[in-house]
Each structure stands twice: as C-alpha cells, then as structure tokens.
Amino acid sequence: MMNSIDLLKIIFTGSIDAGKSTAIHTISAIGDINTATAEKITSTMDYGQLYLANNEKIDLYGTLGERRFEFMSATLCQGALGLIILINNTHKNPLNEVDYYLNLNADFLTKNPAVIAVTHYDEVNTPSVENYQTYLQQRGYTWPVVSADARDKKDIATLINALLLMREYS
Amino acid sequence: MLDTTLSFLDFNAKQQASFFAILVLSERNLANDWKMVNKDIAKVIFISSQQKINQSEWDKLQLTYPESILVAYSKNLSELNIAWKLITEFDKPPIRSKLISLLNKITVELKEIKEIKEIKEIKEIKEIKEIKEIKEIKEIKKVIKISIPKNILFLPEDYFLGIIQNSIKTGEIYHCQNQSGINLYLYPQKFNYFCSVEITNLKSLFLTHPNEIKVEKILEEDLKKLVKDMKAKTLNDLCWHSTIIASQGRLMKNHHHDDVVNLKYWPDISYLNTVKDYLAIATFMNRNVTSIKKISQYTEKKEVNVIDFHNACQVLGLIDQTKNFCLNSRPASDKLRQLRQNVFEALQFSTAS
C-alpha cells in the first residue's frame, strides 16, 4: 500500500510553535508562503513546494497549530507521502502532544509513514529523545524520533528522506 | 623578464659618450633594449683598460662582480683567457657591428642563464615539495601505524572508546591527554565530556591505543575548576564518533554477521548526516529484524558502513538482538525509488545514496 504514490505531498503537523512554518520555509523552493502569523502562531495554512529534476514537484503543507482546525487534518493528509510531526519540547507536556497527533492521524498512519521531530531541544532537553522513544514503544509505535532544528535545511532534508526511505522499505 | 643592464668600469667621459652614441645607433639591430645603470647592479660591465690587462687582475675582477658578465674593452686582449671581449682602440668608439654582435650574443647567454636559474628554482621547489610529501607520507604512515587494525575484531579496549566505557562503568572522572597534548575530561555522572577541540578533529585520539593516552582520575570539584570555561558536550557524541572512527568495518567481540538485529531507537539526527548510507541503513534496520549480512544485501549499502553503524548503535544501546527474523520490507517500485532519488537531488543529497 505504501508503495503507491497518488499525490506528491508531504504534511508537516504538530504542536503550536513547533516550527512547521519554519521547516517548510527552510526547504521550500518558493518564497515566503501564504501564512498569516500572529505572535509566531500560524492562523492560516502553510504551503511550500520542492521542485524535482523531472519537472515534478512535491507540495509541502503545514497544518494549523490550533486544535479547532483539527477536522481538516484527514482531508489534508489524503494521498500524502507521509507525515512529519514536529513537537515543541518546551511545551508543558510534549509527550501528550505526540500522542495527540498520532491519534489524530491514526487512520492515515495505518498505511503511511511518520517521522517525529523534537524541536527546541537545545532549549529544553527533557523529555529526552530516549524518553519519547520509550513512550512510543510502550504504545506500540515504531516511528523514528529525532531531535531537529526546523531552521536547519540538512535536518529537514533528513526528515523528508527518512520519510521516503520508510515508504521504500515498507 | 631579462635583466639587460650595463655599466662601465674605468671608462673616461669621452669613451662613455662615444660608446653610448654607438649603442643608440645600434638599437634597431639589438635583440633587446639596454639600460645604463650603476656597475654594482649591472648585469653586463664593460671594463676599459689602457694598459694590457693580465689574467690575475681579470680573475680578481670576476670575483668582485660574480653576478655580472664582464666584457674586456681594450686594444690588445689576445692573450687573455676571457669569454667576452670587444677589441677597441683607446679613445675610439666601438665598431657598431661588433658591438651589436657582442650584445646580441650576451642576450642569448643571459637567456640561457635565466632558463638554467629557473630550472634550478623549479627543481628546488620540486625537491622541497618532495621532501614535504615524503614527510607527510611518513606522518600519514605514523597515523596508519596507529590505525591499522591488528585484530580482525573491533575491541573497544584497544582504543579510546575503551577509556570512555571504563569511565561510564566505574563512574570515575578522567582527565585524558594524548601525545598531541589534547586534553579531554570525561564526566560520566552527567554523561558529559569537555574538550576544547571539535569532535571532528579528534580522529587521532580515537585511534590511539589507551596505553599511549595519559589518564588521570580527578575529583568532581577539581573538574569544575578545570572546565569552568568549557562547554559540556554529551558523551553519546563521543561514544558514537569514537566507535565509527575506530571500528573500521570490524564486528565487535561476540557479534557475528548472522546476528539477527533490529534498531529499536534511532540515533541522533546529526549522526545520520555524517555518512550518506546511514539514513537508509537506519530506516531499514528500524523496520526489519534481520541479519547484518542481509541488511547490506537488501539496502545495497557497503557492509563496512552497515557494521560501523551497527557497532555505534550497539555502543549507544540502540540495538535489539533477537533470534526471530521479521522482514517487513518488500521491494520498492521503480517509481518510488526514482522519486526518492529525485528528492535526494533536490535536497542536494547524492543520487548514489
């Protein structure tokens, strides 16, 4: 199932101020994408594009941080290559946040991969990446967890590559 | 550029004027322009003598102006054993054709001298370069001497990794110093280390045998004084990099190519960026439970890289060893593989990844 490609799009989701807009902006080929931000919180959808050599492009979507828009998540994820879940480690309960986003996208994740990126790790390193991994394992999830800097092109590239490799090795 | 400067020695004013006049008249036929300068810096010196010049005087002059071509400018020079002469009656100007011929021959000589000098210089540069290269090769050999694996197995106790593991095991704080004078402090209580040198520049330390490293146990209070201006770094980084450097494609003791393994947790993202194969190996190992040999075959990644990655993950406790194979991955479609290659390229990754 994971080997079929319907649409070339990747979804960035996650907690408020986790760096979804930044991550898309870091690798997007198009300039600043249409986001309306107030105090660093996105209130409209993020969009970016990654151009490929064969004139194809991958659409990059960022979900809205506020939970009142969660109903849009399933529609947005339809046909996507995978989900990059960004968790702000300075959040008061980041482990619950992971749980929330995995549950919210549970249907999509039965057939598609996800990568969990812990951001702001340099500011707060508790819970540790190991804590996340243990937490997920206890809940039966095997998705990779890594700390990442949404401003770092290399980190975001690694997350996307990991997502595609997971499809390839599915 | 050819140095064509000339000067006079023992010329009177009249001689100088007449010589200069003929020189100007000869300009069209000369191979190059000649410039009059002080005799101390002239390349060619015309030496005039009313008296008969004897050989020993000439030889003395040659010693006085070793860098210059000396031209005897006199009436009777037949007995002298000298290279350059212009037979001229005293107080008469030189014969134009003879002066042209002489100066053009000197030009040829100067060119040859210049070429010889340049060849010599190139040779010297080459020799210096060769000596430098030999020195460098010797230094490399010295490093290789340290890094050539004596054992077909990777034994951490033969490397700096052994010291790190010992510090973690005993909880002792170590001050380590290698022969290059690099100071590194291991602080296992906080799972930290301190070192002013970047980890990427610690290769030689990672390859050094513990016997060659000065290790001193220190107290926590002393450590705090010693490292008060240094930044704490995680010991995980040190364990990872020292394993990757020292492992060199060799499995650790009690591990085999047929061991069935699974990557239960992913290593830090920064480690995955160090070698391009690691991301693919990590993804495959995380999704499958299989042997080291099979990982290399399935992912088409070098076994050396698989083993180094496996060893580093083992050291960090990220590997589960089991007896049950569980191969979840099915061969990917060509379209998916191509897509990944295209994305890799778009993200400035190598297509060979």
Write the pLDDT tens digit of every residue in A57-85.
899 999 886 677 677 788 889 999 999 99
- Predicted pLDDT at A42: 54
Q: In terms of residue numbers, what domain contains B177?
A: 156-244
Q: What CATH number corresponds to the domain at position B92?
A: 3.40.50.2300
CB B48 within 8 A of CB B73: yes
Residue B142 has pLDDT above 60, yes or no: no
Final residue of a domain: which of B187, B219, B244?
B244
Clarify whether residues B177 and B232 are in a common domain. yes
Q: Can you give the pLDDT at residue A43?
A: 56
- Supply the pLDDT for residue A1: 43
Count of domains forming chain B:
3
In a domain, B132, yes or no: no
Task: Give pTM, 2 decimals.
Answer: 0.65
Mutant choice from A54, A169, A170 vs B, greatest count of B C-beta within 10 A:
A169
Do B340 and A164 count as a contact with CB atoms less than 8 A apart?
yes
Same domain for B253 and B343? yes
Shared domain check, B227 and B324: no
Residue B120 located in a structural domain: no
Which residues lie below 8 Å from residue A36, measured CB to CB, with a gap of 6+?
A42, A43, A44
Domain ends where: B176, B211, B244?
B244
Q: Same domain for B239 and B254?
A: no
**B239: pLDDT strictly greater than 60:** yes
Residue B126 included in any domain: no
Chain B residues with CB-CB distance to A167 below 8 A: 332, 336, 340
Residues B257 and B228 in one domain: no
Q: Provide the pLDDT confidence category of residue B144 given band limits of 50, 70 and 90.
A: very low
**Measured in Å, how far apart are chain A's first and last C-alpha atoms?**
9
pLDDT score of B349: 45
A129-138 and A94-104 helices, crossing angle to 10°: 40
B75 and B28 within one domain: yes
- Any chain A CB within 8 A of the CB of B98? no
Task: Please provide the average confidence, as pLDDT, over all residues in chain B.
Answer: 85
Q: What is the 3-state secondary structure (H, E, C) of B48-61?
A: ECCCCCCHHHHHHH
Nearest to A63 by CA among A114, A29, A111, A110: A114
A vs B: CB pairs below 8 A: 108
**Same domain for B231 and B174?**
yes
ipTM: 0.81
- Measured in angstroms, the CA of A148 and the nearest CA of chain B are apart by 7
**What's the CA gap between A39 and A58, in Å, rounded?**
28
Q: Which of A93-102, B141-150, B326-335 has the highest mean pLDDT?
A: A93-102
In a domain, B149, yes or no: no
Contact B332 A167 (CB under 8 A): yes
Shared domain for B234 and B278, answered yes or no, is no
Query: Which two structure tokens, joined as six digits, stand for B258?
Result: 């047929």
Q: How far is CA B112 from CA A161, B35, B105, B287, in A?
A: 64, 20, 11, 74
User: A-side interface with B, Cβ within 8 Å?
Assistant: 3-5, 8, 27, 50-54, 56, 58, 117, 129-130, 133, 137, 142, 144-148, 153-155, 157-162, 164-170
pLDDT above 70 covers a percentage of chain A that reads: 85
Alpha-carbon distance of A130 to B191, in angstroms, equals 14
Same-domain check for residues B162 and B229: yes
B255 in the same domain as B234? no
Quote the CA–CA distance of A1 and A110 in Å, as a whole number.
10
Residues in chain A closer than 8 A to B268 (CB atoms): 129, 146-147
Pick from B81, B82, B69, B59: which is nearest to B112 by CA?
B69
Closest residue, chain A, to B353 (C-alpha): A161
Backbone angles phi, psi at B263, to 5 degrees: -85, 105
pLDDT at B78: 66
Which among B215, B244, B273 is the end of a domain?
A: B244
Whether B301 is covered by a domain: the verdict is yes
Residue bearing the bigger pLDDT, A87 or B42: A87
Model confidence at A127, pLDDT cuts 50, 70, 90, reads very high
Residues B298 and B266 in one domain: yes
Please identify which residue in the block is written with the tokens 């941080």.
A65
The label of the residue with tokens 């190519």 reads B257
B23 part of a folded domain: yes
Residue B156, both tokens: 């951490």
Kindly tell me if the per-residue pLDDT of A134 is higher than 50. yes
Q: Which of B65, B67, B99, B63 is nearest to B84 (CA)?
A: B99
User: What distance in Å separates residue A87's CA from the closest CA in chain B?
Assistant: 15
Which of A131-135, A141-145, B236-240, B270-274 ranks highest by mean pLDDT? B236-240
Is residue B128 domain-resident?
no
Burial class of residue B155 (count of CB atoms within 10 Å of its CB; 0-12, 13-18, 19+): middle
Pair (B210, B293) in one structural domain: no
Residues B203/B208/B213/B219 CA torsion (nearest 10 deg): 50
Locate the chain B residue with the closest alpha carbon to A128: B268
Reduced 3-state DSSP string for chain A: CCCCCCCCEEEEEECCCCCHHHHHHHHCCCCCCCCCEECCEECCCEEEEEECCCCCEEEEEECCCCHHHHHHHHHHHCCCCEEEEEEECCCCCHHHHHHHHHHHCHHHHCCCCEEEEEECCCCCCCCCHHHHHHHHHHCCCCCCEEECCCCCHHHHHHHHHHHHHHHHCC
Give the pLDDT confidence of B249-290 residue by residue, as tens digits: 999 988 998 899 999 888 988 888 888 899 999 999 998 999
Residue B139 lies in a domain: no
Which element (helix H / strand E) includes B332? Answer: none
Instruction: Read off the tokens for B134.
Output: 């030999």
